[in-house]
Every structure is written in C-alpha cells, then in structure tokens.
A and B are shown apart, each in its own frame.
Chain A
Amino acid sequence: MVTSSTLEIIVASRRRRQKKYVLVVGALAVLLVLIFAITLSVGHSFTPPGDVLRVLMGEAVPGASFTVGQLRLPRALLGLLAGLSFGLGGVAFQIMLRNPLASPDIIGISSGASAAAVFAIVVLSLKGPIVSVLAVSAGLGVALAVYGLSFRNGVAGTRLILVGIGVSAMLESVVAYILSQAPAWSLQEAMRWLTGSVNGAQLDQSATLAIALAVCGGLLLSRARDIEALRLGDDMAAALGVRVSETRMIIIVTAVGLIACATAVTGPIAFVAFLSGPIAGRIVGDSGPVLLPAALIGAVLVLGGDYAGQFLLASRYPVGVITGALGAPYLIYLIIRVSRAGGSL
C-alpha cells in the first residue's frame, strides 16, 4: 500500500520532529538551570545548595545571605533576563529580514539604545525605568532611521545591513565620546557601555526587565507560528494567511523593546543577539520554531559568559568581552561564507 506508507512516513517524521524539539528545549532549559545554580552557589567561595535554597526562600543565613542574596542572585537574574531578551530580540530580527547579519546588535539598534542610556545616565543623571524608556525610544528611532535610509523601491536586506553597520559605528562613537567626557567614571562602568556587563547588578533592575520580557517576549512567542511562516518569504507567508505587515510591526516593536530594555541595564552585551539565533537554528534544525530555543541560548551565553569572565579566566572580564570573543570569529565566518557563495553580503 503506497498511500498508507506515505501516511506512516509523515506521522513518523512529525513525531521525530516533535520529540527532538521537546528534547532540545528541555536540554537547554536544564542547562540553563544548571548554570544558574552554579552561578548562585560557586564563586570565590562555595555556598552549599541547601543554603542557597534557604536564602532564596527568604531566610537569613549568616554569610550566605550577603553573597548569594546581595551579590550573586541579582547578577544571575539580570544575566538570565538580559540573555533571554537578547536571544529573542535577535532571532526575531534575523527571521524577519531573513539574514543572520540583520541582528539588532549589528544594524545599530543596540548601539542606539546604548547611546541613549549613556546619555541619560551620564549627561542627564537619570536612573531607573526612565532610562529604559529613553533606550527603547532611541532603539525604535534607529530602527526607523535605518529602515528609512535603506528604502529605495522597497527595502533590500543587504542595503539595510550596510546602512545599519554605518549607523551602528556612528552611535558607538557617540557612546565613546560621552564616556570620555564623563569625569568620574571607572573602567568597569565604561566597559558596560562599550561591551556590556552585569557587574553591580541590583534586583530592581531585573524587575523592569522582567516586565519588558513578559510583555514583549510573550507577544512575540504568541506569534511564533506566524513568525516561523515568514521564513518562507513574505509572499508565501501571506498566501498562508499570515498578516505580514502586522507581524513585522509586532516583531519590530517587541524586539526593539526587548533589546533596548536589556541594553539600558547591561549595555550592549556583544554579539549575544547575533549568535543566539544561528546557534539555536543549528541545534533545532527543522524540528520546531526557533524563537524559544534562541532565547534560552541567549541566557546560556550571558550567564555562562559572565561566569567564565569572573571565575574561569586568569583575570576578571565583563561578560561582553567573553561573548565578543565568541561572536567575532562567527561574524567573520559568516561574511566569508556569504561572499564565497557569490553574494555581495
């Protein structure tokens, strides 16, 4: 029977994909929990898991309460939330523009948010959520500007990326200029705005980010299937009943929101948005939507990178230095691969 065997193949193939997807997401979640747990309990000193749990439950544990509750937890939480935000925002842009180079940290959105945050904090002496609001506005402004500057009979991905790289370079020099004019800035603080860092994290910083993640991330994930359909091309997605312009609008606003809110707190943690999607895509394959796995990868990169930067290397580095060291070779590889394939970018 030809027909029944085709049906069997389809069902088997679908089951294989579902199983793999559950496995991949599950494994990433476990890995993330593991890194989170290690970050909480192993630093310069070791805190037994029992004590960590008791601190998390709100008990006062001599010694551990300060190390875990004041130092490690805010830092780990911020790393987790920023990583999720960067991963999700990055992959959404990459899918929408169908190009791994089109991530917000390459096309200037991160540097826009970063410049706005630095300006708000250093020049205007602002603090808290207002900084995030300014960063999001600046991120959206840059997204619009890059879009407008690359518009000529529609927007070609390549043109947008090149314009974005230019805009990004300009905004990074703005950040550097503001930092150089600021009198009393430590190297640590400067590094935050240049490569990104979760040093000196406070719990209330995580609160703003958690809200942004719940709203923007939730909206984005609820549209995961429509976003996935965009990978077939805008026309094909529309033919499948996806509201393409609406979906794009949602992606732009939510992804910029995620990236900018995270950037306003941690600075532009280098290449996390850029790396998460392709890594997730490689692992997930065709087994399911790449959004959630990319978010998890982003968090793994930030938490893992920060841990490595603090404890595994000879001297201490902010997380952005570590992720930057991972991301730069991949960027070069991508550009070489694309130009070998005969593309102009």
Chain B
Amino acid sequence: MTTHSLIVTGLAAGYGDSDILHDLDLTVPAGKITAIVGANACGKSTLLRAMSRLLKPRAGQVLLDGKSVHKTSPKELARTLGLLPQSPIAPEGITVADLVSRGRHPHQGLFGRWTREDDEAVRAALDVTKTGDIAERNVDELSGGQRQRVWIAMALAQETEVLLLDEPTTFLDINHQIEVLDLMTDLNQTRGTTIAMVLHDLNLAARYADYLIAMTAGRVHVSGSPETVLTEDNVRQVFGLESRVIADPTSGRPIMLPLGRHHVTQA
C-alpha cells in the first residue's frame, strides 16, 4: 500500500478579486482521517477545491507527493486524488450502477473501453457502501442517505488513495451521518485511504478523525489530534462560543458541550 503526502504551503486562493484563503500551510497526514472544521465562510470548501485542482491558487502550492497538483494532468491526478463535492448533480433518470460506473472515468481511454478491472472496482464500491441491492434503481428515487452512499460509491470506484469530501454528512439524519462516517473509517482501515473531509459537527469530527484542522478566516487556526484541537479555548477562538469539553464516555475522545444562555445549571 502506498502512502501519499499532501502538503499545502503558503496557499492564497479565492474567487473574483478577493482572497478567501491567506498564506495557508497544512499537512494532511498520510493514511489517516483528517477533519477540517470551522465557522461558515472560513474557507473550508475553498481549501478542498484548491487542494483538488478545481481552483487555481493565487500564491503558494498544493503538493501531492512533492509535485504541484496544479501542474499534474487532471486525469493523472484523478487517479490518485478524488473529491466528492458538496452538491454533485445526478443526471435525470440515471441508475445507481451507471452513476457509480462513471467514477471509472479517469481510468478509461478515449473510447471508454470497459475492462474487468472497471467492473471489479464498481463491484467493490457497491459492496463496501452496501448499495449493491439498489444498483438498478434510479438515483432520483433514493432517500438522502442512500443517495449519499451512492455518491461515495462513485468516488470509491475512482480508486484513489487520497479522498477529499466536502461535508459528506450534511442534510443526513444522524443515523445516516454515523453510517457515512463508519464507512469512511472502514475505508481508511481496509484500503489505507487517506481521507480529508469538511465536517460541520465538531463532536463527530473529534470522534472519527485522527487529525483535526480548525480554520478561521482563511487560515489554519490550530491543527493536531482531537484532544489538542477540541479545547474550550479553541472553540471560543474559532466559533466565538463558550463551551465545556469533556471526554466522551463511549470513545474517550473529547466532546464539546455548548453553554449558550439558557438551560445551563452547572457550568
């Protein structure tokens, strides 16, 4: 199993004239699960887009195995680094099997000749995400949780050793959120996939990630193990929220309890 290094140095990027990311440095640990957290509009999605070559940086670099992703051919990059954007579009009437098969795009030539490896990759992706039994269904008919699993299956069919996901749990019920995050952990443990995902829920991030990156205003505020990142001070600085952080009795990971102005009997 190969491990890939993904390093961001001095990155500045944005849309139009204004930069959203400023002189940002970070390292995504190889073979681990990384969660990127931060308040809305702090640049999390922009960071993922810049890291996966979708957005051209104004300054700095994104280095995958020492080579700038913006100087790598898109197809070559897409065989190593995958991205599941926040709102991908399922073409009308497409079946699960077909959608997942499209993850093979970077592995195919001009005429899209289909090989045994392609079938096998799609099979593995469907099995891991437990979407094999809905393979013939229309994507339009699926529930939110199923649909998200199908998109993840598509990203898996791409067979990249690094996978970036932009809020893969948003709009899902809590049980489906856990399902998706368990799936990410399976993937990380069985295939050794390096995973970096933007997550909204701090507690789930601390629970599932080996490494947390907290962003404020287009910069990395703090990064490290969940224990070092999810602290009362950091929550105050990143989100402007008073909280208590305790150890989760079920996992031992830190868990953040917001204080708010009401209902708190013992702070």
Residue B148 at the A interface, CB < 8 A?
Answer: no
Q: Mark A10-43, 1 if CB is under 8 A from B, else 0.
A: 1101100100000000000000000000000000
Once A6-B135, A7-B120, A153-B15 are accepted as A-B contacts, the answer to whether A238 and B126 lie under 8 Å apart by CB is no
A-B contact pairs, 23 of them (CB 8 A): A5-B132, A7-B120, A9-B97, A13-B97, A14-B101, A14-B119, A98-B89, A225-B105, A225-B108, A232-B91, A232-B102, A233-B89, A235-B85, A235-B88, A238-B52, A238-B54, A239-B54, A239-B83, A241-B75, A241-B76, A241-B106, A242-B105, A243-B74
Interface residues of A in 197-230 (CB under 8 A from B): 222, 225, 229
Task: Decide if B95 is an interface residue (CB 8 Å cutoff).
Answer: yes
Q: Which of B52, B90, B91, B119 contacts A7, CB < 8 Å?
A: B119
Most buried by A among B77, B87, B94, B132: B132
B176 within 8 A of A: no
Contact of A241 among B88, B91, B98, B105 (CB under 8 A): B105
Q: Separation in Å of the B56 CB from the closest CB of chain A? A: 10
The yes or no answer to B136 lying at the interface (CB within 8 A) is yes
User: What's the minimum C-beta distance from B14 to chain A, rounded to whole angstroms?
Assistant: 12
A interface residues with partner B (beta carbon < 8 Å): 2-3, 5-7, 9-11, 13-14, 17, 98, 153-154, 222, 225, 229, 231-233, 235-236, 238-243, 281, 285-286
Query: Which B residues lie within 8 Å of A236 (CB)?
Result: 84-85, 88-89
Given contacts A225-B105, A285-B93, contact A241 B79 (CB under 8 A): yes
| 0/1 interface trace, chain B 57-93, chain A, CB 8 Å (1 if under) | 0000000000000000111111100111101111111
Q: Nearest residue in A to B131 (C-beta to C-beta)?
A: A6
Minimal beta-carbon separation of A332 from chain B (angstroms): 20
Separation in Å of the B173 CB from the closest CB of chain A? 23
CB of B32 within 8 A of chain A?
A: no
Give every chain B residue within 8 A of A225 (Cβ-Cβ). Answer: 105, 108, 110, 112
Please classify the interface of chain A as helix (H, G, I), strand (E, B), loop, or mixed, using the class held by over half of its residues.
helix
Which partner residue on chain B sits nearest A234 by CB separation? B54
B122 within 8 A of A: yes
B interface vs A, CB < 8 Å?
Answer: 15-16, 49, 52-54, 73-79, 82-85, 87-95, 97-98, 101-103, 105-106, 108, 110, 112, 114, 119-120, 122-123, 126-127, 132, 135-136, 155, 158
With A6-B132, A13-B135, A232-B91 known to touch, is A238 a contact of B74 (CB < 8 Å)?
Answer: yes
Q: Which residues from chain A contact B82 at a C-beta distance below 8 Å? A: 239
Question: If the complex has contacts A10-B122, A153-B16, are A240 and B85 also in contact, measured as CB distance less than 8 A?
Answer: no
B84 — nearest CB in chain A belongs to which residue?
Answer: A239
Structural contact, B91 and A231, CB atoms closer than 8 A = yes
Q: How many A-B residue pairs have CB under 8 A?
A: 105
Smallest CB separation, B140 vs chain A (Å): 11
- B126 contact set on A, CB distance < 8 A: 6, 10
Task: Kindly state the separation between the CA atoms of A200 and B179 in the bound complex, as whole angstroms.
Answer: 66
Known contacts A10-B119, A14-B114; is A235 also within 8 Å of B105 by CB?
no
Name which residue of chain A comes closest to B132, CB basis: A6
**How far apart are the CA atoms of A246 and B17 in the complex, in Å?**
22
Closest A residue to B54 by CB, please name it: A238
Residues of A within 8 A of B15 (CB): 153-154
Q: Considering the chains assembled together, what is the distance between the CA atoms of A222 and B94 in angstroms?
A: 22
Please give me the residue from chain B that is nearest to A95 by CB atom: B91
Also in contact, A6 and B123, with CB within 8 A (given A13-B136, A240-B158): yes
- Least CB separation from B103: chain A residue: A240
Contact between A2 and B127 (Cβ–Cβ < 8 Å)? yes
B92: chain A residues at CB < 8 Å are 281
Most buried by A among B93, B97, B158: B97
Q: How far, in whole Å, are A75 and B87 apart by their CA atoms in the complex?
A: 47
Question: B253 to nearest A CB, angstroms?
Answer: 30
Contact B83 A235 (CB under 8 A): yes
Bound: A231/B102 CA distance, A: 11
Does A14 contact B88, Cβ atoms closer than 8 Å? no
With CB as the reference atom, state the residue of chain A lying closest to B95: A286
Q: Indicate if the CB atoms of B85 and A229 lie closer than 8 Å.
A: no
5 smallest A-B Cβ distances: which pairs? A241-B78, A241-B106, A235-B85, A241-B75, A6-B132
CA distance A98 to B91 in the complex (A): 9
Q: List the A side residues contacting B123 at CB < 8 Å.
A: 3, 6-7, 10
In the bound complex, what is the Cα–Cα distance between A264 and B153 (angstroms)?
47
Smallest CB–CB gap between B196 and chain A, Å?
14
Question: When the two chains form their complex, are residues B135 and A233 in contact, meaning their CB atoms are under 8 A apart?
Answer: no
B102 neighbours in A (Cβ, 8 Å) = 229, 232, 240
Chain A residues positioned under 8 Å from B132 (CB to CB): 2, 5-6, 9
CA gap between A233 and B78 in the complex, in Å: 16
Q: 8 new A-B pairs (CB below 8 Å) besides A13-B95, A13-B98?
A: A6-B126, A9-B132, A9-B136, A238-B53, A239-B54, A243-B74, A286-B94, A286-B98
In the assembled complex, which residues on chain B have CB atoms less than 8 Å from the CB atom of A222? Answer: 110
In the complex formed, the residue of B with least CB distance to A229 is: B105
Chain A residues in 8 Å Cβ range of B75: 241
Write the chain A residue with the least CB distance to B122: A10
Which listed residue, A231, A241, A285, touches B77 by the CB 8 Å rule? A241
